[in-house]
Every structure is written in C-alpha cells, then in structure tokens.
Amino acid sequence: MKEDQYTLELLKGRNRVNISIEALNSGHANAQAQDICKALQVDKYTMGYEQTEPTVLSDLFKNLATSNYDRKDCAEWEGKFDPDGYPCLYLFKQRLYVKNVILRYLDIPRENSSLKLICNNKQCINPYHFNYTERKNEKFTGGDTRMLLAYASQGVSIEQIAKAFNVHRSTVYRKLHREHFYSGPQNHG
C-alpha cells in the first residue's frame, strides 16, 4: 500500500520546524504527529500535504514508526553530535539527545534508570541496542545481574565472577549485597 506524503509543522514558542512524514491516511499521520510532538516535547503542530525534503529527523521518525532496525547491526546517527560525540539535535534553540527523543517516542520511561548501549558504540541509535541499569554508574545490566546471581548461587567465587564481568571484586560484593544475596562476613564473637 502506498503511503501519502505529509508535512508536519512543529510550533514551540516563536520557533517552527517542518518534518516530512509518510502515512497511510490522515488518521495515521495525526497519530504519528502526536508521537513526534511527545518525543520532541512540542505542544502544537499543523499538518499539510505539501512535500518537504526528508531530513535526518524525518528519517529517524520514519525508521521508528516502521521499526526499521536490525537487532544485530548498529544504526549510526547521521546528524549532529554534542562535544563528547553523542548524537543530538538542535531544535527550538535547545539541544536534544537523540536517545532520549527515541525513548519518549517509544513511551519508555527513564526515571531511576540509566541507558547503556550493548554495542558500546556511542553513535548508535538502534533502540534494540539500548539496555537499562538501575543506577547511573551501575556496572551490571538486568541480564548481567541475573547471570551474577546465578553464578553466586552455584558457588562460583567472587574473584571468578569479577573476572567474568571485568569488574573489581568489591563491585561484585556491593551488587550481591544490594540484591540481598550476600550480607558479608558474619561476626559471631
């Protein structure tokens, strides 16, 4: 089925940005517009049928809408980067980080969690490569924690676990303590 071309005009204060979107019909276009507005934290928009040239931003939302990402391959951002090399957008006189835009678009909450990329490629924006940890400086992802607990329950030494995860043994002790698996040496004196 052929999709129609729409132009979404986003309004924030006195600033305007046009984004090209493709949709099956006007209802589908409006649903996409609402998701895009939520992702970019924009309150108002208008929609038209005139064609606008695709941009990295319109490509991002098209790929998200069609789930056009492969689980194994990185999708490197083709837009701008902040001074530390992280993908970002400069819209409405502010910097928006692409990964946060993606999370808002997909309705994935970020409170009390930190995002890490399983591919370790900070230019990657593939949502399948996003992994969440409970704390900002957490060394273990959710899957790592389950694996750590499995190793510990099988009697694997703290030193072996630390080596497997490439962390210091004190990091393993702290994580096991937080998971209520290990309470440390007992003083029975």
Q: Residue 19: is it exposed, middle or buried by C-beta count within 10 angstroms (0-12/13-18/19+)?
A: buried
Please tell me whether the overall predicted TM-score, pTM, comes out greater than 0.75 for this model. no
Q: What is the mean pLDDT of residues 9-29?
A: 90
Cα-Cα-Cα-Cα torsion 131, 132, 133, 139, nearest 10 degrees, comes to 20
C-alpha of 137 from chain center:
16
pLDDT for 111: 65
- The Cα 78–Cα 80 span in angstroms is 7
The label of the residue with tokens 């970020």 reads 110
Structural domains of the chain sorted by starting position, each given as residue range(s) with its CATH number in brackets: 1-111 (no CATH), 142-178 (1.10.10)
Model pLDDT for residues 21-66, shown as the tens digit of each residue? 988 888 888 999 999 999 999 989 999 887 888 899 999 999 998 8
The residue written with tokens 């090399």 in the block is: 85
Q: 97-121, pLDDT tens digit by residue? A: 999 999 899 887 766 567 788 898 9
pLDDT at 172: 86
